Structure 1
Amino acid sequence: MTPAARALLPTIPLALAVGIGSALLFVGVSEAAEELQEVLWGALPEALGLGPYSAAWVMIMLTVTGLLSGLVVWKVHGHAGPDPATTGLVEVPMDPRWVPGLLLAGGLTLAGGVSLGPENPILAANVALAFALGHRLAPARPGQLWVGLAVAGTIGALFGTPVAAALVLTETMAAGRDTAPLWDRLFPPLVAAAAGSLTTALISEQTFRTSLPDFTGPGWGDLLAAVVVASLGALLGLAAVYVFPYTHRLFHALPHPVLALTAGGVVLGLLGALGGRLTLFKGLAEMKELTADSAAYGFGALLLMCLVKMAALVVAASAGFRGGRIFPAVFVGVALGLSASALVPAVHPVVGTSCAVLGVLLATTRQGWLSLFTAGVLAPAPGVLPVLCLALLPAWLLVTGRPLLQLKEDGRPVR
């Protein structure tokens, strides 16, 4: 056995432990939020004699969720972590004592119908816990190892495959100074990602797989549609990016987090009442339902859901709700792609949705591999990937060098 192999071998049990632990935290928080959601949006309104998704109940629930989230941010130790508008997908480890407040606020977001996903709070919590526990139990190991394992395990759990984690980490590693072979550096995170994704697959049903029709292969018309739809998705995402600093400034002009989050809840309630049930929550289950029954919606209804969901995403992130922006951005892309297919039937639904998701994610995350992978997972077919690779090129030219859907602490956009 070579020295390199002997060095990698002891990392396997560490990676397995972190990957499984990351997935268990993700599934645990998600399942708890779903149980609470069934009560808040099922048993409780029925007991009060209200329709669970009536405009009145949507307004009540989003407003109360904003109020409760504000109380958590105000009173719980650590204030549920930093302002989510200033954080990206992967950040430096936070104080582990802040994790309970962050998970409580994130759980309220998921259960209360706010248009944010679980990815940012779960990633931040797993990184903080892995870093703290790893430093205590194995102080000789570098801190960056624990961060990499937690990120990989969580992304593997979130997206259901270790490939997503490997692709995201190659972007991070490209900026580092480590001269070791790429696969030596990827080996421990890939083990953690595989453990995380398998754990999630065995005990949960979290998946991005949709009910889109089969796509047999690209034609010339598909190539044109891909370029146009991906570019439209990128432009829509950029519109949200440029509005984001102003909405953030507006909500944070209020002198207290309880006021800011309650006001955000009121606005989200109005948007939810306008857009309907499918524009609520993180968007994963709603996206599947939308693709399974897309024929029941016309162009206008689909476009309305797309725009309402994007507005809700910007408002939720601006007001300070704890949650991630990838899951709702995927719903935005799916609704945009389906509306393109409804307007122009020649646009295949697979091409429309996957390319729109690609464009929206490129604009909001600037994560090329993650955007390409997520778009491809929606309707996995051999003919989709070449179309996506072509569609990525003009969309990337539109977004590169422009701000992200993320702010610096002084409120200026991150580029």
Structure 2
Amino acid sequence: MISRYVDPVTAPAQPAAPPPASPARDLLPLVLPALVVGVGTSLSLIAVSEASDLLKDLLWETLPDAIGIGPWSVAWMLTVLTATGLAVGLVVWKVHGHAGPDPATTGLVDPPLPPAVVPGLLLASALALAGGVSLGPENPITAANIALAFWLGRRFMPAGPPQLWVALAAAGTVGALFGTPVAAVLILTESMVSAPRQPAAAPGGRPPTLWDQLFAPLIAAGAGGLTSRLLEAPQFGLPLPPLKGPHWPDLVAALVVSSVAAVIALAAVYAFPYVHRAFHLLPHPVLALTLGGVALGLLGALGGRLTLFKGLDQMGELAADPGAHSAGSLVLMTVVKLAAVLVACGSGFRGGRIFPSIFAGTALGFAVTGLVPSVQPAVAVTCAVVGVLLAVTRQGWLSLFAAAILAPDPGLLPLLCVALLPAWLLVSGRPQMQLDGSGVALR
């Protein structure tokens, strides 16, 4: 077959390809939903926190004063934590949705839950926070916000991609938790690297850039963080002596402390499946959670009152006067806090592992300065937090950010980045503190 010759001069012009769509036209419609989701996630976090604080004051101040018993006595800690386990067990057993999936199988950002699960999940989380359980609010409140944002978003903006609502809710919640959007953006960036690649751009268009994908989540995280700052003002900075240097000995200390902290936390990670299996051999969740409460009460009696609760306020109290505790008692606090996280999560309490892990790293860092006074507290504490968080969460950006905001000093950042490397080599490919449906640790 002979093709016909076409004169390029006299031939009619081919229609030009349509110009690529303006990125602003695609991104501007996301601004309002991102703002609404960001503010909403922060308000839900504040509401749960305020409710749990009211109950906490009742349990740990009003009631013991009324009956004339010390709130930090062994008897009262055992009573409150056992009762908390019983109450959470009843919620898990009787409330619709059973307070969500097994917390040992959940991470910080998971697929959306059915909206009907949210009330039971938040109730179980608030009870645990108030009762002194060593877990934070991050996992339950993020799951609840994702469920609500996904449900409402799909109802009122059905044309939007489903993953948009997950990203907005997760970013807004993390921004509210830390009072800044930086942590949310770092976590989402890390998740995008492991997520499937974006589909190819339409003809005449262009593939979305990283900042295109982060545009709406960044707005949600900023709105959540600003709302949290305006209404609650979360504080993470510790009253640590300013860094002098850094000098060469600080580099050696950073490498050693982060590695030791990672190894200690890895021991807890390896024990996690066995603790979880032991509690799940029990025939009923009420029994498992009640016994978990008893175990937490005993651990609290062993480690002291600072090892109770999520650890944020207790961390500040510890940093305000670290000399009040010996190096041995600080090591004990570290071990007890990690053990309490294992028991709490393994027995079925709803909560997150980030905040108690930060407390464990802080206590370990002060123990290092007690044992080796030449190590600067800012180096010891932040590098210990990096090592513990890397082992527990397996999220490098989150670990680096959490350590950096404890002592916001530009001179620490190079040390933290270097300290992260040997700790990451130690934890990479190891079991995680998260299980699959069969009880096997993820890697």
Among 95, 106, 123, the alignment partner of 2:125 is 106
Aligned equivalents of 2:254, 2:299: Cα separation in 1? 29
Verify: 1:294 aligned to 2:322, yes or no: yes
Pick from 103, 122, 126 the counterpart of residue 84 of structure 1: 103
State the partner residue of 1:131. 150
- For structure 1, the residue ranges without an aligned partner over 5 or more in a row are none
1:34-71 deviation line (CA, Å, top 9, x unaligned): 11101100000111111011111000001000000000
| Alignment partner, residue 291 of structure 2 | 263
How far apart in 1 are the matches of 2:352 and 2:245? Answer: 33
User: What is the 5 A alignment of 1:83-232?
Assistant: 83-175=102-194, 176-178=196-198, 179-232=207-260
Q: How does 1:2-401 map to 2 (within 5 A)?
A: 3-175=22-194, 176-178=196-198, 179-401=207-429
Shift of 1:371: 0.6
Distance in 2 of aligned mates of 1:15 and 1:391: 36
* Separation of aligned partners in 1, 2:21 and 2:92: 51
Report SS of the residue matched to 1:260: helix
Letter in 2 for 1:153: G
Letter in 1 for 2:404: G
Task: Supply the distance in 2 between the matched residues of 1:355 and 1:100 (Cα, whole angstroms).
Answer: 38
Aligned residues with identical type, % of pairs: 63
Task: Select between 386-395 and 177-186 the one with higher mean Cα deviation.
Answer: 177-186
* 3-state DSSP of counterpart to 2:235: coil
Gaps of 5+ in 2: 1-19, 199-206
TM-score, structure 2 as length reference: 0.93
State the shift of 1:130 in Å.
0.1
Q: Secondary structure at the match of 2:242?
A: coil
* Pairwise CA distance, 1:237: 1.2
1:378 partner amino acid: L
Q: Is the 8 A contact 2:136 2:355 kept in 1?
A: yes
- Is contact 2:179–2:233 with CA below 8 Å preserved after alignment? no
Per-residue CA deviation, residues 19-38 of structure 1 (Å, 9 max, x unaligned), is 00000001110111111101
In the alignment, the residues of structure 2 paired with residue 260 and residue 306 of structure 1 have an alpha-carbon distance, to the nearest angstrom, of: 24
Is the partner of 2:333 in helix, strand or coil?
Answer: helix
Shift of 1:207: 2.4
- Give CA-to-partner distance per residue, 1:317-359, whole Å, 9 cap, x none: 1000000000000000000000000000011111111000000
TM-score between both structures, scaled by the size of structure 1: 0.99
State the alpha-carbon separation in 1 of the partners of residues 403 and 209 from structure 2. 29
Residue of structure 2 in register with 1:405 after alignment? 433
- Give RMSD over aligned pairs: 1.0
For residue 412 of structure 1, report the CA deviation from its aligned partner.
0.5
Supply the distance in 2 between the matched residues of 1:5 and 1:216 (Cα, whole angstroms). Answer: 46
Deviation of the 1:217 alpha carbon: 2.6
C-alpha displacement at 1:159, in angstroms? 1.1
- 1:170 is displaced (CA, Å) by 0.6
Report the Cα distance in structure 1 between the residues aligned to 2:57 and 2:169, rounded to whole angstroms.
Answer: 30
SS in 2 for 1:10: helix
Post-superposition offset of 1:2: 6.3
Q: Which has the larger radius of gyration?
A: 2
CA contact (8 A) 1:217 1:382 kept: no
The count of corresponding residues between Structure 1 and Structure 2 is 415
Q: SS of the residue aligned with 2:418?
A: helix
Using the alignment, how far apart are the partners of 1:209 and 1:255 within structure 2? 44
Q: Deviation digits for residues 356-383 of structure 1, max 9, x if unmatched?
A: 0000010111101001100111010011
Match of 1:143, as an amino acid? P
Partner of 2:5: none
CA contact (8 A) 1:58 1:269 kept: yes
- Return the alpha-carbon distance in structure 2 between the equivalents of residues 221 and 301 of structure 1: 26
Is contact 1:208–1:378 with CA below 8 Å preserved after alignment? yes
Amino acid at match of 2:328: G
Asked if the contact 2:176/2:225 (under 8 Å) is kept, the reply is yes
